[in-house]
Structure 1
Amino acid sequence: MDGVNHIGETDAATTLTTGGSPHGLGDFLRARRARVAPEHVGLPGGRRRRVRGLRREELAQLAGISVDYYVRLEQGRATQPSAEVVDALAGALGLDTAERGHLATLAGARQGPAPEARVSPMLRRLLDSMAGFPAFATNHRLDVVAWNALGAELIGGLAEPARRDRNNARYLFLDPASRVVHPEWDDRAAEAVGQLRVWSGRYPDDTELAGLIAELASHSAEFRRIWDSGEVVMCAAGRKRLRHPVAGLLTLDFETLHVPAAPGETGLVVHVFNAEDGSEEATALARLTETVTVSDRP
């Protein structure tokens, strides 16, 4: 033994909870604490440690708070730490911008069901006008609620319900075909779980969202593994690889555009893809665009 009081701590996997659980804040802190290597914050490591990452008392010391108060945060007996405590914990844990925002959301204990998103006629016209750019819009549950023809075809056939589920998370974890469409499946899966975690913290009383998370946890060990890691992801920009039976393997640039929420409504996220001018991908997309356009003609 190393002579340190571990306050009843074990290295077992945490129980899956959503942001609506009173333990949502504690579970997130526990998962992030397990990620921090002691050596990275000037503490001794080694095989004799009984837990992954930092011990509770070590994190409390780094954040400048009492061990007792930190233990109550992890156990759900203290649920609304001050902004100063949140900032101190975020700094001690080395959280990035998305993780800091999620921690602040959990600490704020926001309540109330999420209102339903509205797809405006303007948004539908905008998507249709981007004929050469695959595009689709998602809500906070990762339901695909609007798309253009090229976007629907590129990510597995959204326009035909029999081809794929219109919830991106359910499609990724419960449909083996998603691994063909998404050759970087592990990255896409982590993104989906990270986004669901963010939204579950923001809308803790959304029963449909909680039901989706429970369904995925029940049917997918991979979902449970990623969820327990405490991953947090916000939509951004970059490059993704997708595979289409006609266009082949494509490396595409993407941007995510946030549609502001009208009063009382949830905002949507529009995902837009494009290929570099003159590239093989651009040629393949042009061919696919023509194929989709022809098939849509009466």
Structure 2
Amino acid sequence: MSSDGAHGDQVTSGLDRRTELREFLRSRRARLKPEDVGLSSYGRRRVPGLRREELAQLAGVSYAYYARLEQGYGDTMSAEVLDAVARALRLSQEESDHLVRLAQPERQSTAQAAPSPQRLRPTVQHLLDTLGVPAYVVGRRLDILGWNRLATAVFGDWAQLPPEERNVARLFFLSPEARDRFADPDRSALRIAGVLRMNAGKSPGDSHLSSLIQELSQKSEEFRQLWARHEVSCPSTGESVRMRHPLVGEFDLVHEPMTLPGDAPMRLMTYHAEPGSRSEEALRMLASWEMEPLR
């Protein structure tokens, strides 16, 4: 399969860094209004958001200099200029890091030209098995590398799927059954697309990740629209996620992701219920059913 890149709501072949940089800056500029940043609005605007010259003024650089950056040429820009543009665009820390990765990937030690496949260490699987909460591990492509039985009780039996289908994004956007486990799918969809966008910026040469994005863009209109928004996000910490299960109904879990040490980035995703809550009781019921021996 060919790799991906976003231009408007279309996905091109190849994660082209200059195209990604250009579209990312345009999307961030479009979400700001002149009055949001203390500027007077003048003239008819053909497109929403700030004009290039207004953004350049806010960043303290010349129009020509900023225009060159938005054309995808960030290699010669200083760190100070990129920081000034990030402040003018009111980027979050995740978005600022994403801007630097796109403009000057050599400044990011995490960038890899051709990342190798990720595999879970046996000791990490042992850790998963001993945890008393639903937990699983994902790699940079959001592949599900390992999980425990409580995760199976909450999210579904991933062991029944072929290894190539065990992927958080693929399951969410292409499997109605997996998506139905989330009571607020719109919020989850935006978060998953944002994490995938962030990871793609870190590993633009990862052909498997590019193929995944291309597949999702071809098969899911929702993903295609979210991808065109260029949202960037990290897995949320301490966020409540409302789940839905056919046996116990809806219940809330608190999501706590943790980065595992090692050369290849992996995240341990854990979920727990608030003590004494109805959600804790629902989780306890699911756990008891999951742990029952087969007859």
- Give the TM-score of the pair, scaled to structure 1: 0.88
Q: Are 1:24 and 2:24 counterparts?
A: no
How far is 1:154 from its partner?
0.8
- Which of residues 1, 8, 13 in structure 2 aligns to 1:13? 8
Report what 1:128 is aligned to. 129
**Identity over aligned residues, as a percent?**
40
* Mean CA deviation greater in 209-218 or 36-45: 36-45
Cα pair 2:136 2:147 within 8 Å, conserved? yes
Higher mean C-alpha displacement, 133-142 vs 66-75: 66-75
Whether the 8 Å contact between 2:98 and 2:198 is mirrored in structure 1 is: yes
Which amino acid in structure 1 is aligned with residue 87 of structure 2? G
Equivalent residue number for residue 42 of structure 1: 38
What are structure 2's unaligned runs of at least 5 residues? 1-6, 106-110
Summarize the Cα distance change of 1:79–1:111 in structure 2 as closer, same or farther, 3 Å threshold: farther
2:205 paired with 1:210: no
For residues 80 and 128 of structure 1, what CA distance do their matches in structure 2 show?
49
Alpha-carbon separation, structure 2, partners of 1:153 and 1:80? 52
User: Where does 1:85-100 land on structure 2 (aligned, <5 Å)?
Assistant: 85-100=81-96
Amino acid at match of 1:154: V
CA RMSD for the aligned pairs?
A: 2.1
Instruction: Give the number of equivalent residue pairs.
Output: 281
Kept in 2: contact 1:36–1:93 (CA 8 A): yes
- Report the CA distance between 1:38 and its aligned residue: 1.5
1:245 counterpart letter in structure 2:
P
Q: Secondary structure at the match of 1:181?
A: coil
TM normalised by structure 2 equals 0.89
Whether contact under 8 Å (2:133, 2:271) holds in the other structure is yes
1:289 Cα offset (Å):
0.8
Q: What secondary structure is seen at the aligned counterpart in 1 of 2:240?
A: strand
> What SS does the aligned partner of 2:18 have?
coil
- Alpha-carbon separation, structure 1, partners of 2:34 and 2:156: 43
Task: Map 1:168-207 to 2 at 5 A.
Answer: 168-207=168-207
Distance 1:14 1:29 in 2: 15
Counterpart code for 1:257: M
Question: Where does residue 293 of structure 1 map in the other structure?
Answer: 291
Match of 1:279 among 277, 280, 285: 277
The match for 1:3 is none
Q: Cα distance 1:46–1:144, how it changes in 2: closer, same or farther (>3 A)?
A: farther
2:68 is matched with which residue: 61, 69, 72? 72
Residue 107 and residue 77 in structure 1: after superposition, are their counterparts in 2 closer, same or farther (change >3 A)?
Answer: closer
1:25–1:103 CA contact under 8 A, matched in 2:
yes
